[in-house]
Structure 1
Amino acid sequence: MTQIFAHRGYSASFAENTMGAFYEAEKAGADGIELDVQLTKDGEIVVIHDEKVDRTTSGTGFVKDFLFKEIRNLNANHKGLKKEPIPSLIEVLEWMRTNKLVCNIELKNGLIPYEGMEEKVVQLVRRYGLADRIIISSFNHYSIVYSYRIAPEIETAPLFIEGIYMPWIYSQSIRARGIHPKHSSMSDNIIMNTMDNGIAVRPYTVNKDVDMHRFFNINCTAIITDDPVKALRIRKQYEKRP
């Protein structure tokens, strides 16, 4: 059965990449969450999508220019009533020990080459004993190859915007166990061939009913969606099938 990953948490209804959005995704019944990580000036791993804090918080400037204690003072729910800090990856992993969710950690090191990011993420995942419930993904494929080399026990999955020829061959060549393509970039046939070759396929960001039906219909490995509640409702129609 196709798994449902909540993109930046239950971000359709709650502030993205906050503990509130992650709690709500779990409460809704999602199988997993997807989140993004950046590094602060003093080397802490924090959960935020953009290189700058401007769009999603009350502050301005680059994540890399804030100390951890400074970035924690910002409100990551600036459009909502309740103040929420930017989570640290430690906070998320501690919470994950209380549930059974899978977590896709996206390394946001395409524009800013954060020194030591891969080691820090791997170290934390191992410290919390969560290697079998984490997927490391990135648009920076050098970074996920490096992650695999230092931690072959943690699944890696390259992210794609464009379609790629025989993605299973590419995945096998970099030892990735999954791929996360843009949902519109792969045909059903390519998805099924990829899965038949032992590679998980988790398209992003699948929000429209018609696209959800498409992926549930071919029993895609997972979808990454802003709206896990809608996805769960649509998936129910497919659970009764033989």
Structure 2
Amino acid sequence: MMPGSTAVIAHRGSSAAEPENTMRAFRAADAAGADLIELDVRVSRDGVPVVVHDAGLGSGAGRASVSELSCEEISARRPEPRIPELEEVLCWARSRIETYLELKATGVASSVVRLVSELEMQDQVLIGSFHPSEVARVRELDSGLPTSVLSAHTDPGQVLRLGERLGANYVHLCWERAHPEPHRLLGQGLVEAARRSGMGVILWQEDRRRVLERLLEYEPDGICTNVPERLVAVREEYRKTRKATRSGGVAPVA
């Protein structure tokens, strides 16, 4: 992510328009102008990182955990929309768009870091997790990889202390379920405190235009959204308005 600019992070790809965590969603996000694609990573029984959100596949008695299935079995259980391997996504994204990898379970970090290293894409990925142990493991395996810690806690002090303890590069505030208007919980002081501690701030998945406009005023490092083209447009309007205001001119009419 570029310092001084709020990145458009396509949450599970362009997931409002295409099936989430699929190549179709990632291609659509790239076409929409997103800066990063965010995706969920789990590891199959045979050690292959795959891109899928839920821990289980199937339903009823036939439901099975991703970690209990081989990569081949995963493909057979859900042929459409196809679950891609992480390697496929990274090879496609190389030199095209940055990727934000959320590790959905413990024990995933080693396989992911190894793959990123093999592909020599350390400067094109951000790795995050709700599991502090996974963030710590990434740091242990490769301290040069940028990391984020995801947290639903709305106590700013608790979130910042967690990020500092782990040595994370970013704190990712996941407050979309904490309040119907989660932006009301956010204050400029939190963003400034994080930066004083050497960390950036990423904000939750948000699609509402009026809220996106408000969030941009805090100048976070990134905002997640299911509709990247909307945030791209809102960010451009915000930049024009801010530029006009700073130059003493009149802000253009959107």
Tell me if both proteins adopt one fold, taking TM over 0.5 as the criterion.
yes
Cα displacement string for residues 166-193 of structure 1 (whole angstroms, at most 9, x for unaligned residues) = 3444423321110111242533321233
Superposition deviation, residue 236 in structure 1: 1.4
Deviation at 1:4, TM superposition (A): 0.4
Kindly report the root-mean-square deviation, in angstroms, between the aligned alpha carbons of the 2 structures: 1.9
- Find the counterpart in structure 2 of residue 108 from structure 1: 104
Change (3 A) 1:199 1:66: same
Q: CA deviation at 1:200?
A: 1.1
For the Cα contact (< 8 Å) 2:35–2:98, is it kept in 1?
Answer: yes
Gaps of 5+ in 1: 77-82
Give, in whole Å, the separation in 2 of the partners of 1:221 and 1:130.
Answer: 21
Q: 1:174 aligns with which of 166, 169, 187?
A: 166
* Bigger Rg over Cα: 2
In structure 2, the residue matched to 1:40 is 44
| Number of residue pairs matched by the alignment | 227
Q: Which has the higher helix share?
A: 2
On the 8 A contact 1:73/1:85 being kept in 2, the answer is no
The one-letter amino acid of 1:157's match is S
Separation (CA, whole Å) in 1 of partners of 2:137 and 2:26 = 28
Alpha-carbon distance in 2 for matches of 1:75, 1:214:
39
Quick check: 2:12–2:38 contact (8 Å CA) kept in 1?
A: yes
Instruction: Give, in whole Å, the separation in 2 of the partners of 1:196 and 1:214.
Output: 22
Question: Which structure 2 residues correspond to residues 185-204 of structure 1 after superposition, within 5 A?
Answer: 186-204=186-204
CA contact (8 A) 2:29 2:37 kept: yes
Identity %: 29
CA shift at 1:98, angstroms?
Answer: 4.4
Partner Cα separation in structure 2 for residue 237 and residue 212 of structure 1: 11
Give the match for residue 222 of structure 1. 222
1:67-216 equivalences in 2 (<5 Å): 67-75=70-78, 83-99=80-96, 101-109=97-105, 113-114=106-107, 117-166=108-157, 167-183=159-175, 184=182, 186-216=186-216
Structure 2 residue runs of 5 or longer lacking an equivalent are 176-181, 244-254
2:15 corresponds to 1:19: no
Q: What code does the residue aligned with 1:138 have? A: S
TM-score normalised by the chain length of structure 2 = 0.83
SS where residue 76 of structure 2 aligns? Answer: coil
> Helix, strand or coil: the match of 1:203?
strand
Aligned to 2:56: 52
- Rounded Cα–Cα distance in structure 1 between residues aligned with 2:53 and 2:67: 13
CA offsets, 1:2-46, max 9 Å, x none?
110000100011000001100110011000011111111211111
Q: Which contiguous aligned blocks of 4+ residues in structure 1 show a shift greater than 6 angstroms?
A: none
1:66 corresponds to 2:69: yes
Aligned equivalents of 1:94, 1:212: Cα separation in 2: 31
Measure how far apart 1:67 and its partner are: 1.3
The 2-side partners of 1:64 and 1:170 are apart by 28
What TM-score do the two structures reach when normalised by structure 1? 0.87
